Every structure is written in structure tokens, then in C-alpha cells.
Structure 1
């Protein structure tokens, strides 16, 4: 069931960060863990809509960037698919091993970023220590999810210099 917080975070640019901040001062703490029918949290929607200020507010209130929906997808996955490096940095802060953040298909955030050719996020994840060659449960690497030539070259260069 969608909560008011879900709706506020899903409305791209319509609900200001200040409005969400005000709502959270009056809402119960557990509203951050409320989930839709598919298991998505408010932070999933802030990540999807690239709402950095909203994500910061939710994280300050202890929202979990690794909360999984029914497909095992986290706000980090959603943000890496279409987000910008600045919001991805906010969401991955404090995550020690990005290769351990897996959806139910075994895809890492790097798989998600590579699939959409999100080069700036691919570069950020690699610089933050993500392995360029993790394999999902289908034994596919991020490169096998990518059609963008520049992103593919970035992944190939990272794989060539990667040491175990």
C-alpha cells in the first residue's frame, strides 16, 4: 500500500524537500520502512527520481539504502541505473563492499549502471572499489549487459588492470 511518504517521494519535483522534511517531523519513525505492494520504500522512489536532497533527508532519518523490494532491488540499484554520481555517492556512503549488493538475479549496482550505459556512475562505482567483473546468477558480467561503446571500454580497461 502506498503511504503519503511514498507519494511525496514519487512525485518528481512536485513535492519539495522541505515539504517532505516537514512531513517527517510529524510522521511516525516507521514510515521510513513502509513498503508498497512490490516492497518499495520511499527511498526507492527518491533514488528513482534522482532526488538527492530528499534522499539525504530520508537517510538522515535512518532510511536504509539497502532495503530490498520483492525483486531484491535496493534504492542503490535503482539509482545506479539512471542516477547521477552525486546521488549515487549519497546512497553508497558507508557501504563497504558494493559487490555484495545483489538483486535476486545476482546483479550488482555495476550491472545496473552498465545496462543503461551510465558511464559517470560506472566510473564512480569502479573508483569506489566495485569489481569490474562480478558475475550474476546467469554468469554474466556487467560488460555483457552493456551496449554503450564508451562504457564497454571503461569496463574493459578496469578489468584489464583489476587484481584479485
Structure 2
């Protein structure tokens, strides 16, 4: 496994009470969108936890919702884990196109939320998709 330091931090610091030192993060700014061999980014890893502070830091420093080798974006992973505040944070930073992106099995984040029985996440996704479609149609 050849993960860089920021990717490791995002895996290890998966809860709100496990924060990396700000000085360490500042030294890793250039790695915010760094992919693994499978094109998985730090934002994918942070999606599997509850560390909103780290997720916000990534987003504030330019993290993007790239798809990995299996065409999964970080929202797919967040919908699998089901931490609603993380999903809300992601949705507030994503375009409609990113929210409805499908993976290599043609499954959207909404499909993942339903598969993993994260019903509140599925409801939030449906509402957000509907609102973003209405906003887009008004333009």
C-alpha cells in the first residue's frame, strides 16, 4: 500500500475527537486531491468517518469530488457509512451532476444509501436532488 501522509491521516483520524495538528495539515496542502493507485482521494477516506472538521478543512483547501477507479465519488462512500452530517456537508459543496454520478455498476449515491439502509440519507438525497433540479430549471 502506498498511501501518502494526508491519506493516512484521513483514515486514522476518522472521528471528531481525533484531530491532526494544524501545523501538520498545513504542510500537506499540496496533497488535498492526491489519488491512490486506485484514484481514491483523501475526501473518499474522510467520508467513511465522522470527522467533519477534517472534511471541512479538505473542502476549504480545494478538495474536489473526483471519482475513483470504480467511478465512486466520496458521496458514494459517505452514503455507505451513513453519517448524516457528513452527507449534508458534501451535498452543500456538490453540483447536481456530482450528486447523481453513477459508479461502474451504474449505482448512484442514492442507490448506495438505499442498499445500506441509510433511509435518512436517502431522504436527504432525494430532497437535495429535487431542489437542485428546480434551481437548475429556473435558470
Category of TM-score, reference length = shorter chain: 0.7 to 0.9
Alignment partner, residue 141 of structure 1: none
Alignment partner, residue 34 of structure 1: 34
Is the 8 Å Cα contact of residues 47 and 83 (structure 1) preserved in structure 2? no
Normalising by the residue count of structure 2, what TM-score does the alignment of the two structures yield?
0.81
Aligned length: 127
Is the 8 Å Cα contact of residues 32 and 58 (structure 1) preserved in structure 2? yes
SS at match of 1:103: coil
What are the within-5 Å matches in structure 2 for residues 100-111 of structure 1?
100-111=100-111
Once residues 16 and 121 of structure 2 are traced to their aligned partners in structure 1, the CA distance between those partners, rounded to angstroms, is: 26
Alignment partner, residue 52 of structure 2: 52
Once residues 84 and 14 of structure 1 are traced to their aligned partners in structure 2, the CA distance between those partners, rounded to angstroms, is: 12
Once residues 17 and 108 of structure 1 are traced to their aligned partners in structure 2, the CA distance between those partners, rounded to angstroms, is: 30
Alignment partner, residue 17 of structure 1: 19
- Higher relative contact order structure (alpha carbons within 8 Å, sequence separation ≥ 6): 2
What are the within-5 Å matches in structure 2 for residues 23-102 of structure 1?
23-27=24-28, 29-64=29-64, 66-97=65-96, 100-102=100-102
Alpha carbons of 1:50 and 1:115: their partners in 2 closer, same or farther (altered >3 Å)? Answer: same
Bigger mean CA deviation after superposition, 91-100 or 118-127: 91-100
Alignment partner, residue 2 of structure 1: 3
Measured against aligned partners, the alpha-carbon deviations of 1:101-154 in whole angstroms (never above 9, x if no partner) come to 221222111001000000110111112125xxxxxxxxxxxxxxxxxxxxxxxx
Is the 8 Å Cα contact of residues 100 and 109 (structure 2) preserved in structure 1? no
SS at match of 2:129: coil
Is the 8 Å Cα contact of residues 10 and 46 (structure 1) preserved in structure 2? yes
Once residues 105 and 52 of structure 1 are traced to their aligned partners in structure 2, the CA distance between those partners, rounded to angstroms, is: 29
